[in-house]
């Protein structure tokens, strides 16, 4: 059974710019590719990255290139050039050393859509280790340090796909044109 797409990702991924030439979108720590498939259905050329080969096999499909890479392995480096992506989507994944690389990986008019667990989630179950839970305002700090402009932010409890405490953010690069963006969200 396929996991449902995050409503947050579905809503804000509509802002990821499309151009006359293909621009890539990164689904970071993509798992089985639920968001990679959504992004490909929106006409984007998608790179789905995960360390799990079995998950990547499920993520592959038309318009989706998969990359097996463990970003947390000792000595592992961010494998992408700065400014490469029109959009980056991250859900249910937190590795703080990547924050600067994620922000730098966006094109100047790019869109970051991020959603993961936050402190307070331990009352609902896993993850409960503070290493895997965002501190209050941590995604806002990521955006600020990365020179991104916050379009939307939430910090609270969600009911689906399971009851959890999360932080969610949509932020854009300094050249993102809000006046021309599709804002009928």
CB 176 within 8 A of CB 111: yes
Given a cut of 80, whether residue 3 has pLDDT beyond it is: no
Cis peptide before 127 (omega within 30 of 0): yes
pTM of the model: 0.93
CB atoms within 10 A of CB 43: 11
Across the range 172-179, mean pLDDT stands at 86
Reported residue count of the chain is: 185
Hey, is 36 helix, strand or coil? helix
Confidence of residue 18 (pLDDT cuts 50, 70, 90): confident
Domains along the chain with CATH numbers? 7-72+81-168 (3.40.50.150)
* Residue 71 falls in which region: left (phi positive, over 0), alpha (psi -120 to 50) or beta: alpha
Mean pLDDT of the chain: 91
* Residue showing tokens 């400014």: 83
pLDDT band at 4 (very low <50, low <70, confident <90, very high): confident
Percent of the chain with pLDDT over 90: 82
Q: pLDDT per residue over 142-158, tens digit each? A: 899 999 999 999 999 99
Cβ–Cβ under 8 Å, residues 109 and 93 = no
């Amino acid at each position: 059974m396929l996991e449902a797409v995050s409503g947050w990702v579905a809503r804000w991924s509509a802002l990821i710019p499309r151009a006359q030439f293909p621009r890539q979108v990164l689904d970071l720590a993509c798992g089985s590719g639920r968001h990679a498939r959504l992004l490909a259905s929106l006409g984007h050329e998608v790179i789905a990255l995960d360390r799990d080969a079995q998950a990547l096999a499920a993520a592959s499909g038309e318009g989706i290139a998969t990359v097996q890479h463990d970003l947390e392995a000792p000595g592992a480096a961010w494998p992408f050039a700065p400014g490469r992506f029109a959009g980056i989507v991250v859900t249910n994944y937190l590795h703080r050393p990547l924050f600067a690389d994620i922000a730098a990986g966006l094109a100047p008019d790019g869109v970051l859509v991020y959603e993961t667990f936050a402190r307070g989630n331990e009352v609902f179950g896993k993850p409960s280790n503070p290493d895997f839970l965002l501190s209050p305002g941590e995604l806002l700090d990521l955006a600020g340090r990365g020179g991104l402009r916050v379009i939307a932010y939430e910090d609270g409890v969600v009911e689906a796909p399971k009851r959890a405490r999360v932080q969610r953010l949509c932020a854009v690069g300094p050249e993102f044109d809000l006046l021309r963006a599709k804002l009928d969200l």
